[in-house]
């Protein structure tokens, strides 16, 4: 494998490293931008040990068996190949001071002396918890602390699982991703919450003791003792709450760090044809469900559920005071729970309608704001405002219904709660004024203690019921919105073959294609064979299938019938992201990224500034960028709205050139360039050692092609060089003649206007 290919594989990881940096920074693990760790592990002797370490990490992240790379590699490249073969994401990290005592997940590290690979595994059962180094090359495992951490270099790797090997994504699969990292933190959270619940019994119990014994006996010392115990309980409870909040934050960080990358990786690997089924606003709203689900499962939700479950300890204290009053309280609690569940379920159904209206309002608003000029040109403002008002009004009606249900259920629940207090007081009065043993056990002190314990139990129980119903309904709804996007097979996975070397030849056999929800067949049995280094031009009238053929070659659309291969490797069996690393494409509908000119050229890859300038010069825009005050740091707005069509096109050409592709695909890529700029671009392309496919209408763009394919109604009707096709005076000649006639007419008009 060449160094260029190694660098290309390294570059594709940069976007993932940067996107994961902020998440991982919560765990105090930071990315090192100054060190090239690949130089540290380019060691032949450690390859076997490195594979064992990687295999161990994979077993922690997945239930599947690992797949060893198909190519022979070593060091850093072995890590890349293993992750590609097993669909793992990875990132380089720098271990900051104090890292041995902070759980950041299993880390691939290296010894300081021999640069031998080893695993840093978190051992929470140690006192204090710390990392332990494991490796076949170590004589024994080493517990890492501040004294011996210098035995290991302060660089390593973190790995993240993906969801690429599933046709659909289910909630239990998400649980499998976070389970190993979450269980320990959940046990800690439950233990702390249990301690808080037990301490929470103290105020109720001490209140009854103060009323029942300290005050009647006028015992100042006893009162002070109870007060000291109460203050101690409150302080301890507050300290435990602080620890619990830290644990909750930790759980939230783990969920975000594990789920976020896996879900977004899945979305970014979905086929373009599947994503095109949704509008941009729908995609934004549906993908935001990732953050919304994490928000629903926030720290307060976890605390409410755990506290509700542990509130059962208050029932024991209530029974201690009075079994009869406890039974009454439980009956009323069930009644309140039924009312709460009914109200919540009713509002959730309305919430679904509200979300639907909100999605429509958002989409219409985005459409209005993005096409204000067109609206004013056609004087359509009033019509769209009416449509917007209709949808917004329907959304507000649903909001009003939700508020009405909440208010009514609140009033009913408050009335029942007050009724419970009255019932308890009446029952207590009956017991106190009736002869018998019961009147001796239920005193005023016990009544106050019971009321205090009941209040804690009732609040926690109702909060638990409401939280569970809301979480279940909201998570189900949000997940359904998200799963509609995720419910499609991805473009990559262990079942696909990873392309590890440049491809140059293309074979197409009997290719047929029809767009979904359309009866018109766009391609009708296209056959094509492109040799390495060949320049092939596709020409034809609009709608002849040229751009559709390009989309199929890039894997943007799914092959329905026929066969496409690269270097005789079936496209259906190829990992498309690995293939596209070697293809430079400039398409009609590709827009510039929001950022800088340099960002757009690099497109997330590790391309040097010198290489960027070479690409810009080859795209005939280098001099213009040099004249700009900020040069490569010049801002580019979303879509390149602050640039002309020719400038956007040249920057996209420079982006393709900078990748040094083995196949270059250009769909009307120079249509906005003048003749001088086009000549510069053509000369630059001529020096590139690559296979070329060009779609263009301008004759001077296709004249130099080795072969021209004339397409008409989804079929290749003519094939040959420019001179051969012109000499036939058939379909291609008709296209050429019509263009020459049009150019002659334009020149004639210009001459007549000059007089």
DSSP, residue by residue, 68-92: --SS---HHHHHHHHHHHHT-EEEE
pLDDT at 505 over 90: yes
Note whether 670 and 698 are same-domain residues. Answer: yes
Note whether 679 and 628 are same-domain residues. Answer: no
Structure tokens, 557: 């659309």
pLDDT at 499 over 90: no
pLDDT at 749 over 70: no
pLDDT value at residue 407: 80
pLDDT at 507 over 90: yes
Range of the domain at 228: 171-487
Note whether 624 and 690 are same-domain residues. Answer: no
Distance from C-alpha of 639 to C-alpha of 172, rounded to nearest angstrom: 39
Strand bridging mode 142-143 / 130-134: antiparallel
Distance from C-alpha of 691 to C-alpha of 504, rounded to nearest angstrom: 6
**Does residue 255 fall inside a structural domain?**
yes
**Does residue 165 fall inside a structural domain?**
no
Mean pLDDT in residue range 212-222: 77
pLDDT value at residue 536: 93
pLDDT, tens digit, 9 for 90 and up, residues 403-430: 887 787 777 777 776 777 777 777 767 7
pLDDT value at residue 671: 78
CA distances, 551 to each of 396, 451, 513, 564 (Å): 43, 71, 11, 12
Strand bridging mode 506-514 / 561-566: antiparallel
Mean pLDDT in residue range 440-452: 70
pLDDT bracket for residue 44 (50, 70, 90)? low
User: Under a CB-based contact definition with an 8 Å cutoff, are residues 612 and 606 in contact?
Assistant: no
Note whether 193 and 204 are same-domain residues. Answer: yes
The more confidently predicted of residues 693 and 309 is 693
The more confidently predicted of residues 514 and 286 is 514
User: Under a CB-based contact definition with an 8 Å cutoff, are residues 252 and 303 in contact?
Assistant: no
pLDDT at 508 over 90: yes
Distance from C-alpha of 468 to C-alpha of 121, rounded to nearest angstrom: 35
Note whether 217 and 290 are same-domain residues. Answer: yes
Mean pLDDT in residue range 46-68: 78
Distance from C-alpha of 70 to C-alpha of 515, rounded to nearest angstrom: 36
User: Could you write out the DSSP letters of every residue in 302-338?
Assistant: HHHHHHHHHTHHHHHHHHHH-HHHHHHHHHHHHHHHH
**Does residue 216 fall inside a structural domain?**
yes
Distance from C-alpha of 459 to C-alpha of 446, rounded to nearest angstrom: 20
Note whether 134 and 275 are same-domain residues. Answer: no
Structure tokens, 642: 């602050």
pLDDT, tens digit, 9 for 90 and up, residues 376-405: 777 777 777 787 888 888 888 888 887 887
**Does residue 181 fall inside a structural domain?**
yes
Note whether 182 and 291 are same-domain residues. Answer: yes
pLDDT bracket for residue 437 (50, 70, 90)? very low
pLDDT, tens digit, 9 for 90 and up, residues 650-688: 898 999 899 889 999 998 887 777 778 888 888 888 888
pLDDT bracket for residue 527 (50, 70, 90)? very high
pLDDT value at residue 506: 94
At residue 150's C-alpha, the angle toward residues 148 and 153, to 5°, is 135
Distance from C-alpha of 333 to C-alpha of 329, rounded to nearest angstrom: 6
Structure tokens, 373: 């000029």
Question: What global pTM score does this model have?
Answer: 0.68
User: Under a CB-based contact definition with an 8 Å cutoff, are residues 118 and 137 in contact?
Assistant: yes
pLDDT bracket for residue 317 (50, 70, 90)? confident
Choosing from 435, 459, 487, the residue where a domain stops is 487
Mean pLDDT, rounded, of the chain? 78
Distance from C-alpha of 507 to C-alpha of 564, rounded to nearest angstrom: 6
pLDDT at 34 over 50: no
pLDDT bracket for residue 30 (50, 70, 90)? very low
**Does residue 51 fall inside a structural domain?**
yes
pLDDT at 582 over 70: yes
Note whether 513 and 483 are same-domain residues. Answer: no
pLDDT value at residue 127: 80
HSE value, Cβ hemisphere, 13 Å, CA-based, for 634 = 17
Note whether 422 and 565 are same-domain residues. Answer: no
Burial zone of 330 (CB within 10 Å; 0-12 exposed, 13-18 middle, 19+ buried): middle
Number of domains the chain is built from:
4
Structure tokens, 711: 């397409």
pLDDT, tens digit, 9 for 90 and up, residues 223-281: 888 888 888 888 988 898 888 888 888 777 777 777 777 777 788 778 887 777 777 76
**Does residue 229 fall inside a structural domain?**
yes
Note whether 325 and 356 are same-domain residues. Answer: yes
Residue 705 dihedral angles phi and psi, to the nearest 5°: -65, 145
Here the CATH number for the domain that contains residue 310 is: 1.20.1560.10
Choosing from 104, 137, 160, the residue where a domain stops is 160
Sign of CA pseudo-dihedral 291, 297, 298, 301? positive
**Does residue 15 fall inside a structural domain?**
no
pLDDT at 493 over 70: no
Here the CATH number for the domain that contains residue 79 is: 3.90.70.10
Q: For 141-145, 332-336, 346-350, which range has the lowest pLDDT when averaged over its residues? A: 346-350
Distance from C-alpha of 144 to C-alpha of 122, rounded to nearest angstrom: 10
Choosing from 160, 191, 226, the residue where a domain stops is 160
Q: Which residues contact 533 (CB under 8 A, 6 or more apart)?
A: 504, 689, 690, 691
Note whether 513 and 476 are same-domain residues. Answer: no
Dihedral-angle region of residue 650 (phi above 0 means left; psi in -120 to 50 means alpha; beta otherwise): alpha
Q: Which of 365, 361, 355 is nearest to 392 (CA)?
A: 361
pLDDT, tens digit, 9 for 90 and up, residues 325-340: 888 888 888 887 787 7
**Does residue 669 fall inside a structural domain?**
yes
Give the residues across from 76 on adjacent strands. none
Residue 152 dihedral angles phi and psi, to the nearest 5°: -125, 145
Q: Which residues contact 41 (CB under 8 A, 6 or more apart)?
A: 50, 75, 76, 79, 110, 115, 117
Structure tokens, 382: 């009033």
pLDDT at 125 over 50: yes
Mean pLDDT in residue range 162-180: 71
Here the CATH number for the domain that contains residue 677 is: 3.40.50.300
CA distances, 330 to each of 186, 324, 337 (Å): 29, 10, 10
Strand, coil or helix: what is 426? helix
Note whether 151 and 176 are same-domain residues. Answer: no
């Amino acid at each position: 494998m060449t160094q260029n290919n190694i660098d290309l594989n390294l570059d594709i990881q940069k976007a993932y490293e940067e996107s994961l940096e902020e998440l991982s920074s919560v765990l105090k693990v930071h990315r090192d931008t100054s060190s090239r760790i690949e130089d540290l592990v380019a060691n032949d002797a450690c390859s076997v040990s490195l594979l064992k370490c990687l295999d161990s990490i994979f077993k922690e992240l997945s239930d599947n068996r690992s797949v060893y790379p198909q190519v022979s590699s070593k060091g850093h490249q072995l890590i890349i190949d293993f992750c590609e073969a097993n669909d793992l994401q990875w990132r380089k990290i720098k271990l900051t001071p104090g890292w041995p005592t902070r759980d950041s997940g299993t880390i691939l590290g290296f010894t300081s002396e021999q640069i031998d690979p080893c695993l840093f595994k978190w051992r929470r059962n140690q006192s204090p918890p710390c990392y332990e180094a494991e490796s076949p090359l170590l004589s024994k495992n080493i517990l890492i602390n501040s004294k011996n951490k210098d035995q290991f270099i302060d660089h390593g790797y973190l790995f993240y699982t993906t969801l690429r090997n599933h046709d659909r994504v289910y909630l239990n699969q998400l649980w499998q991703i976070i389970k190993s990292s979450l269980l320990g933190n959940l046990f800690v959270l439950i233990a702390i919450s249990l301690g808080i619940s037990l301490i929470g019994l103290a105020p109720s119990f001490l209140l009854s003791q103060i009323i029942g014994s300290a005050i009647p006996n006028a015992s100042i010392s006893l009162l002070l003792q109870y007060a000291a115990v109460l203050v101690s309980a409150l302080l301890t409870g507050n300290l435990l709450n602080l620890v619990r909040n830290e644990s909750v934050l930790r759980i939230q960080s783990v969920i975000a760090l594990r789920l976020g990358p896996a879900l977004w990786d899945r979305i970014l690997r979905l086929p373009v044809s599947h994503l095109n089924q949704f509008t941009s606003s729908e995609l934004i709203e549906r993908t935001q469900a990732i953050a919304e689900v994490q928000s629903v499962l926030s720290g307060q939700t976890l605390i409410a559920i755990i506290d509700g479950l542990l509130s059962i300890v208050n029932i024991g204290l209530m029974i201690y005071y009075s079994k009869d009053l406890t039974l009454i309280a439980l009956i009323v609690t069930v009644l309140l729970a039924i009312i709460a569940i009914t109200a919540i379920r009713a509002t959730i159904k309305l919430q679904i309608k509200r979300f639907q209206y909100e999605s429509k309002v958002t989409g219409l608003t985005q459409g209005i704001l993005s096409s204000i000029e067109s609206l004013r040109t056609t004087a359509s403002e009033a019509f769209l405002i009416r449509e917007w008002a209709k949808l917004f009004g329907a959304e507000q009606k649903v909001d009003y219904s939700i508020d009405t249900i909440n208010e009514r259920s609140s009033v009913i629940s408050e009335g029942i709660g007050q009724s419970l207090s009255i019932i308890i007081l009446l029952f207590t009065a009956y017991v106190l004024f009736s002869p018998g043993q019961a009147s001796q056990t239920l005193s005023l002190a016990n009544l106050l203690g019971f009321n205090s314990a009941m209040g804690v139990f009732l609040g926690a129980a109702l909060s638990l019921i409401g939280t569970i119903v809301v979480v279940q309904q909201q998570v189900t709804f949000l997940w359904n919105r998200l799963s509609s996007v995720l419910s499609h097979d991805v473009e990559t996975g262990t079942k696909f073959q990873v392309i590890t070397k440049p491809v140059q030849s293309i074979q197409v056999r009997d290719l047929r294609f029809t767009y979904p929800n359309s009866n018109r067949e766009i391609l009708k049995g296209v056959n094509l064979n492109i040799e390495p280094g060949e320049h092939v031009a596709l020409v034809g009238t609009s709608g002849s299938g040229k751009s559709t053929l390009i989309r199929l070659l890039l894997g943007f659309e799914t092959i329905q019938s026929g066969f496409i291969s690269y270097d005789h490797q079936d496209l259906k069996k190829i990992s498309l992201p690995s293939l596209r690393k070697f293809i430079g494409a400039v398409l009609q509908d590709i827009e510039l990224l929001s950022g800088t000119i340099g960002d757009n050229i690099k497109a997330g890859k590790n391309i040097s500034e010198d290489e960027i300038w070479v690409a810009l010069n080859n795209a005939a825009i280098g001099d213009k960028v040099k004249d700009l005050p900020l040069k490569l740091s010049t801002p580019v707005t979303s879509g390149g709205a602050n640039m002309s069509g020719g400038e956007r096109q040249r920057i996209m050409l420079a982006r393709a050139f900078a990748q040094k592709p083995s196949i270059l695909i250009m769909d009307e890529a120079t249509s906005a360039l003048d003749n001088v700029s086009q000549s510069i671009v053509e000369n630059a392309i001529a020096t590139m050692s690559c296979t070329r496919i060009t779609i263009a209408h301008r004759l001077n763009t296709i004249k130099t092609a080795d072969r021209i394919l004339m397409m008409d109604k989804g079929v290749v009707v003519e094939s040959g060089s420019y001179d051969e096709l012109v000499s036939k005076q058939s379909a291609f000649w008709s296209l050429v003649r019509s263009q020459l006639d049009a150019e002659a007419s334009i020149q004639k008009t210009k001459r007549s206007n000059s007089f």
